[in-house]
Amino acid sequence: MATVLVTGSTAGLGLSAARALIEEGHAVVAHARNHERAADIADLARAAAGLVVGDLADRDDTYRVVEQVQAVGKMDAVIHNAGIYAEPTRAPNAQGHPRVLAVNVLAPYLLTGLIERPARLIYLSSGMHTAGRAALDDLDWTTRRWNGTQAYSDSKLYVTTLALAIAARWPGVLSHAVDPGWVPTRMGGPAAPDDLELGHQTQVWLATSDDAAATTSGGYWHHQRRHTPAAAAIDPAFQNQLIDELARITGEPLR
């Protein structure tokens, strides 16, 4: 049995992954953005090993999530599922960062560095990461005109790069990025063409399976098959530059 934290587990792929893990006999630590969202998953929370609450768009709330996870105990795996899609405005958080950057990149980075190191890390990417801008001069979109779709693509390139950088830096940890496909969740919309059931299976498999393929590291996956990510994501120089920039922005160096 594995103990697995699933961020963003009140709806969509995160909820599906949490339910599947519980059905397989694993201990799930669920996460909700706030207490109202937590109430929506009362049945899941009763079956879970723990429930942590905090808005990952906010740095202080993210720290509180870390504290709650640490109080539960050591995780065997973390599925960094929480994410937001293209937003019509920059929507800065309390620290002045665009929400899409804060939730999709800064929160996974902080959780990675501050939670006691698990054996497995899974980060939710997107096929749209290939359109991400492989440059780090304006992560906060303070000099560029806001483009929500581009900002989302950028964030998914960054989190994919983070996943593969962790695989290179921490040889004792299995770290992967997963493209779940364009699935009909609240984020994906009802017209999304991919299979919702397949959308969470790769994350669950990578978090818990002893299959040979799942116990390697540094993969970019879609429906349990490895694919080649954007060139920047596997470029050691870009990986190091991104880690350095995230450390500067957050004030938390990755150890």
Q: Which residues are catalytic?
A: 152, 156
Question: What is the 3 state secondary structure string of the chain?
Answer: CCEEEECCCCCHHHHHHHHHHHHCCCEEEEEECCHHHHHHCHHHHHHCCEEEECCCCCHHHHHHHHHHHHHHCCCCEEEECCCCCCCCCCCECCCCCEHHHHHHHHHHHHHHHHCCCCCEEEEECCHHHHHCCCCCCCCCCCCCCCCHHHHHHHHHHHHHHHHHHHHHHCCCCEEEEECCCCCCCCCCCCCCCCCHHHHHHHHHHHHHCCCCHHHCCCEEEECCEEECCCHHHHCHHHHHHHHHHHHHHHCCCCC
CA separation for the pair 177, 25 (Å, rounded): 24
- Residue labelled with tokens 């723990």: 50
CA separation for the pair 204, 186 (Å, rounded): 20
Residue 184 near residue 226 (C-beta atoms within 8 A): no
